[in-house]
């Protein structure tokens, strides 16, 4: 049973049908966020500290999300704080958020009087999706799926992503199954610690796309749209039309065309042969199911 509807008001604006972008790391959430952030009437945030703190707490300890209304209130309050439109607020935003909004100075990326829709595309928001649906029952979710081999290649070149793969990330308090790290059981912890980094990247992607598949079964169809990253890059105009229809609002085409999207299939030259072989071995079932051969 869903909790009673709570009407959130931010800067005098009622939050209705907020939009949340979900994806595994390096799967195109930032590209889509750029298009939404630069669309008329949108105020979308990415990686604000208030949200990131909650999101990673939920991701690393999934049991927190099952603690009734407490988790819902915490996440809703974090979003409300992130969405505040105040002088100098953008200075607290991480660089990807500022770049997506084209913010170069101290001014805000949005003007309260023009905002009609709120949204968030923080990294790893995927693991909080069920709580977000409880907190915002009318929300719209857009999730992106990308070839796990390309994802692994980008993760291997990203120090922030690699920081999650240190052996110290697994402690006695780690919960299993753990979709965030892609580990199903505590019995596999030692094997995970000894696994090459490319394999850990594959596990992280595998856990994320399995969770995305579960959301497709559990979420109302009219509230969840799944896009393939490769299709967005190949035909951004069609992707924008599909997204605009789903969200019932105009999404910026120019911003999506102007994004610096990583090349599709780049893993073939960026992954070492042994790493590519390991990624395909670990994620073989999901790669095949999603048509990445």
Please tell me the distance from the alpha carbon of residue 69 to that of residue 131, in angstroms, as a whole number. 9
Tokens coding 98: 């500022």
Residue 4 lies in a domain: no
- pLDDT score recorded for residue 1: 46
Q: Which residue has the tokens 């690699």?
A: 162
SS3 270: helix
Q: Into how many domains does the chain fold?
A: 2
Please tell me the distance from the alpha carbon of residue 190 to that of residue 252, in angstroms, as a whole number. 47
Please tell me the distance from the alpha carbon of residue 141 to that of residue 247, in angstroms, as a whole number. 9
My answer on whether 237 and 272 are in the same domain is no
**What H or E segment, with its residue span, contains residue 160?**
helix 159-162
Residue 245 lies in a domain: yes
Sign of the torsion formed by the C-alpha atoms of 26, 32, 35 and 37: negative
Residue 200 lies in a domain: yes
**pLDDT tens for the 293 residues of the chain, in order:** 454 556 788 888 899 999 999 999 999 999 999 899 888 889 899 988 999 999 999 988 888 877 667 889 999 999 999 998 877 666 677 777 767 766 666 666 777 778 889 999 999 999 999 999 999 999 999 999 999 999 999 999 999 999 999 888 888 778 888 899 999 888 888 899 999 999 999 999 999 999 999 999 999 999 999 999 999 999 999 999 999 999 999 888 887 775 577 889 999 999 999 999 999 999 999 999 999 98
CATH of the domain at 42: 3.40.50
My answer on whether 84 and 182 are in the same domain is no
My answer on whether 202 and 277 are in the same domain is yes
Tokens coding 164: 């999650």
My answer on whether 174 and 269 are in the same domain is yes
Q: For the stretch 241-275, what's the b/e string if a residue is b when 16 or more beta carbons lie within 10 angstroms of its beta carbon?
A: ebbbebbebebbbebbeebebbeeeebeebbeeeb
- pLDDT score recorded for residue 27: 96
**What H or E segment, with its residue span, contains residue 120?**
strand 117-120
My answer on whether 226 and 128 are in the same domain is yes
My answer on whether 113 and 166 are in the same domain is no
My answer on whether 227 and 112 are in the same domain is yes
My answer on whether 245 and 170 are in the same domain is no
My answer on whether 212 and 242 are in the same domain is no
Residue 2 lies in a domain: no
Residue 29 contacts residue 150 (beta carbons within 8 Å):
no
- pLDDT score recorded for residue 116: 86
- pLDDT score recorded for residue 5: 59
Residue 1 lies in a domain: no
My answer on whether 57 and 187 are in the same domain is no
- pLDDT score recorded for residue 258: 56
My answer on whether 225 and 284 are in the same domain is no
Residue 38 lies in a domain: yes
**pTM exceeding the 0.85 threshold for the entire prediction:** yes
- pLDDT score recorded for residue 197: 97
The DSSP secondary structure of 166-179, one letter per residue, reads SGGG--TT--SSBT
- 146 burial via Cβ count (<10 Å: 0-12, 13-18, 19+): buried
- pLDDT score recorded for residue 176: 87
Which residues span the domain enclosing 167? Answer: 149-219+263-293
My answer on whether 169 and 268 are in the same domain is yes
Residue 229 lies in a domain: yes
The three-point CA angle 40-44-49 to 5° equals 160
Tokens coding 78: 């974090």
């Amino acid at each position: 049973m869903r909790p009673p509807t709570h009407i959130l008001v931010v800067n005098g604006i009622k939050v209705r049908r907020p939009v949340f972008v979900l994806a595994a790391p390096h799967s195109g959430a930032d590209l889509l966020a750029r298009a939404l952030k630069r669309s008329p009437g949108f105020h979308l945030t990415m990686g604000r500290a208030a949200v990131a703190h909650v999101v990673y707490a939920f991701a690393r300890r999934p049991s927190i999300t099952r603690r009734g209304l407490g988790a819902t209130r915490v996440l809703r309050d974090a979003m409300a704080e992130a969405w505040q439109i105040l002088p100098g607020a953008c200075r607290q935003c991480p660089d990807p958020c500022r770049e997506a909004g084209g913010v170069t100075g101290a001014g805000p990326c949005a003007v309260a009087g023009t905002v009609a829709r709120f949204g968030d595309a923080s990294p790893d928001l995927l693991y909080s999706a069920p709580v977000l649906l409880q907190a915002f029952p009318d929300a719209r979710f857009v999730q992106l799926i990308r070839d796990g081999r390309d994802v692994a290649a980008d993760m291997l070149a990203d120090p922030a992503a690699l920081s999650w793969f240190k052996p110290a990330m697994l402690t006695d308090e780690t919960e299993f199954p753990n979709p965030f790290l892609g580990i199903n059981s505590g019995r596999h912890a030692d094997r995970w610690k000894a696994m090459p980094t490319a394999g850990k990247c594959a596990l992280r992607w595998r856990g994320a796309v399995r969770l995305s598949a579960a959301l497709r079964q559990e979420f109302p169809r009219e509230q969840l749209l799944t896009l393939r990253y490769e299709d967005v890059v190949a035909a951004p105009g069609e992707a924008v039309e599909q997204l605009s229809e789903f969200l019932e609002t105009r999404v910026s085409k120019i911003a999506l065309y102007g994004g610096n999207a990583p090349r599709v299939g780049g893993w073939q030259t960026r992954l070492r042969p042994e790493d590519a072989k390991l990624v395909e071995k670990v994620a073989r079932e999901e790669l095949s199911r999603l048509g990445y051969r």
